[in-house]
Amino acid sequence: MKHKRDYTADNRLLYLCAIALPIGALSTCAAWALLKLIALFTNLFYFQRLSFDASPPATHTLGWIAALLPIAGGLIVGLMARYGSDKIRGHGIPEAIEAILFGKSRMSPKVALLKPVSSGIVIGSGGPFGAEGPIIMTGGSLGSLLAQFLHLTAAERKTLLVAGACAGMTAIFGTPLAAVLLAVELLLFELKPRSLLPVALACAVAGFLRPWLIEAGPLFPTQVAAPGAVALLSCLAAGLASGVLAAALTLALYRVEDWFHRLPLHWMWWPALGGIAVGLGGLLQPRALGVGYDVIGDLLHNHMLLSTALALLVVKALIWLVALGSGTSGGVLAPLLMMGAGLGLVLSPWLPGGSPGLWPLVCMAGVLGSVLGAPLTAIVFAFGLTHADQALLPLIATTAVAYGVNVLLMKRSIMTEKIARRGLHVHREYSVDPLERMHVDELMTPAPQALDAAMPAGEALALCRAADHAHRYYPVIAYKRLAGMVALRQLEQADPARACGDLLVQEGHADVFYLLPQMNARAAAGAMAKLSAARLPVVADRERMQLVGILSLSDLARASAAHAEEESVREKLLGG
């Protein structure tokens, strides 16, 4: 048992952690640049001035002319996507997931440059989006590009891509723990020290640098009173409402996207068409335009009338659905925060047991966790944005219910539906692989039938056929060391007088492929798949090369038998 460890990490972990530190710093600088770009384009579009100071687009004095600005922004971004890179379309997170799972974590320099610029133009011209999706894509691109300059595996590139993405999110929102959880729930598709530690270090770097470049403290500092016992029922109701709203938003978004795909126009023009809806919505509710952090703050602090919040919620939802469905560039987190907080404010008069400011906060987390399919991220994210410690228990209850609604009602989340429409499926459940729980020495056949290298092929063939079961491959031993594997077909076709050891060299099989007893079954399965081998010999160690067993695909199948029984066999163990 001494050779078996809890983790598969090695010294490469230190190397990845060292690379993650500058990636965290680069992503923080990219986040700062993105915020400045949004401010610059907002000032250019709405106030006709060259300034990097943040100014809400709702304070413009352009009148009806402002309705044309989102159209212009959409047209520019459509051209950038058509003649630059179509990877800048969308809200960033599905594109990052696709690159991780199906693109070996390779992202292009074009995306790193064009994604923040296109998002700055869209949001600056009034697009109802946040900066988090673009910075996830931009930070991920920076991590991927740096990794591509180094001699790394695809799995290691994934770690650095996610480190850059989550460091960027940390810099935007100041929520490092939520960013790490986002990596675990949505981006990494594994929970290993190799990936978790570099991502955590990159987020920590971003968290320490953020006060120097952006600002310190929570984005929406909020205090709520401790909830009473009756608040549990209110949390259940808020969770149900949040889950239903999340499901409705997800379904509506892809209905809108389907509508755009039926248009007899090239997709380059779609963002401009989406800009028409944004411009009209901005005339009705100017505060629905742009990132809307100030609006989220007002909703959380109950600084808005109920009727105003309801109107704002409806307009924001409509223009966000149309704009995002058009394939423009922008993030989803900030709009979801606003719509969730608006829902909570609308429900607060009918939810007893907590202070009025509690319900916008918990519904904000509920909608976010349900739409993303990432409840832990949403809970910690809401807490990190507000530092409202008394709201932690209601946050857990509300988000859990909302997430449950999503799991039961929806086949996929808003993050994976887009990928599924491209013919790629993403499974979101994490569990211990049965192949990770067992090792080669537990599954192998000990003392297998072996052939001496000096044995003539005819004699070896007769020996193999005399056994109870004939196999396709047999290990060959020379001087008590494993020499290789010989195929039964080779024995049948060879000169009966030729030695088995000669067949290995003649057929180009002089290289010895083997497994070690301490390898877990997953690593063994990977080795067999790489070699297209149905059986591999097992040696005691690399030095002596002493044959101790053989592992076949049927042996690996036994590793999953216990797991299948746990999942399918129902038992009543107590009560007769």
Q: What is the pLDDT of residues 422-431, one digit of tens each?
A: 777 777 777 7
Q: Could you tell me the strand order of the sheet in which 451-452 lies?
A: 451-452, 473-478, 481-487
**DSSP code of residue 421:** T
Predicted local distance difference test score (pLDDT) of residue 434: 80
Sign of CA dihedral 316, 320, 321, 322: positive
Is the pLDDT confidence value at 394 over 60?
yes
Is the pLDDT confidence value at 166 over 80?
yes
Q: How far apart are CA 470 and CA 302, in angstroms?
A: 77
Region 434-561: CATH code? 3.10.580.10
Strands 473-478 vs 451-452: parallel, antiparallel or unpaired: parallel
Least confident of 213-222, 435-444, 497-506, 509-518: 509-518
Is the pLDDT confidence value at 576 over 60?
no
Backbone angles phi, psi at 386, to 5 degrees: -120, -25
Amino acid letter, residue 431: S
Is the pLDDT confidence value at 1 over 60?
no
Is the pLDDT confidence value at 360 over 90?
yes
- Tokens 């959380």 map to which residue? 300
Per the CB < 8 A criterion, the answer to whether 51 and 80 are in contact is no
Predicted local distance difference test score (pLDDT) of residue 2: 55
For residue 96, the tally of other CB atoms under 10 A from its CB is: 27
Two tokens, residue 386: 């507000």
Predicted local distance difference test score (pLDDT) of residue 393: 93
Sign of CA dihedral 282, 286, 288, 289: positive
Half-sphere exposure of 482 (CA within 13 A, CB side): 30
Amino acid letter, residue 450: A
Choose among 173, 185, 86: nearest CA to 131.
Answer: 173
Q: How far apart are CA 246 and CA 367, in angstroms?
A: 5
Is the pLDDT confidence value at 24 over 90?
yes
Helix (H) or strand (E) holding 473: strand 473-478
Q: How far apart are CA 476 and CA 537, in angstroms?
A: 10
Choosing among 1.20.810.10, 1.10.540.10, 2.30.140.10, 1.10.3080.10, the CATH entry for 12-213 is 1.10.3080.10
Q: How far apart are CA 209 and CA 218, in angstroms?
A: 14
Sign of CA dihedral 38, 44, 50, 55: negative
Q: How far apart are CA 85 and CA 111, in angstroms?
A: 7
Amino acid letter, residue 372: L
E strands, 60-117, in order: none
Average pLDDT estimate for 324-337: 86
Task: Report which of residues 420 and 556 the model is more confident about.
Answer: 556
Least confident of 281-285, 403-407, 408-412: 408-412
Choose among 489, 484, 461: nearest CA to 547.
Answer: 484
Choose among 520, 389, 526, 569: nearest CA to 4.
Answer: 520
Q: What is the pLDDT of residues 259-308, one digit of tens each?
A: 998 999 899 999 999 999 999 999 999 999 988 888 999 999 888 888 88
Predicted local distance difference test score (pLDDT) of residue 538: 92
Is the pLDDT confidence value at 418 over 60?
yes
Helix (H) or strand (E) holding 549: strand 547-552
Is the pLDDT confidence value at 413 over 50?
yes
Least confident of 19-23, 155-159, 174-178, 222-226: 222-226
Residue 3 pLDDT level (bands cut at 50, 70, 90):
low
Least confident of 382-396, 459-473, 512-526: 459-473
Q: How far apart are CA 185 and CA 291, in angstroms?
A: 25
Predicted local distance difference test score (pLDDT) of residue 343: 94
Measured N-to-C along each axis, helices 154-173 and 132-148 cross at an angle, to the nearest 10 degrees, of: 140
Give the mean pLDDT of the chain.
Answer: 87
Is the pLDDT confidence value at 222 over 90?
no
Average pLDDT estimate for 334-357: 90
Is the pLDDT confidence value at 32 over 50?
yes
Is the pLDDT confidence value at 506 over 50?
no
Is the pLDDT confidence value at 4 over 70?
no
Predicted local distance difference test score (pLDDT) of residue 189: 83
Predicted local distance difference test score (pLDDT) of residue 508: 44
Alpha-helical regions (H) of 43-131: 69-83, 93-102, 109-124
Q: How far apart are CA 442 and CA 427, in angstroms?
A: 29
Q: How far apart are CA 159 and CA 153, in angstroms?
A: 10
Domain limits of the chain?
12-213, 434-561
Strands 451-452 vs 445-446: parallel, antiparallel or unpaired: unpaired
Q: How far apart are CA 402 and CA 415, in angstroms?
A: 16
Q: What is the pLDDT of residues 524-545, one digit of tens each?
A: 888 888 888 888 999 988 888 8
Is the pLDDT confidence value at 23 over 80?
yes
Q: Give the percent of the chain with pLDDT over 70.
A: 97
Predicted local distance difference test score (pLDDT) of residue 527: 87
Amino acid letter, residue 238: A
Q: What is the pLDDT of residues 462-489, one digit of tens each?
A: 888 887 777 888 888 888 888 888 888 8
Is the pLDDT confidence value at 320 over 90?
yes
Amino acid letter, residue 215: E
E strands, 52-188, in order: none
Is the pLDDT confidence value at 510 over 50?
no
Q: How far apart are CA 181 and CA 381, in angstroms?
A: 9
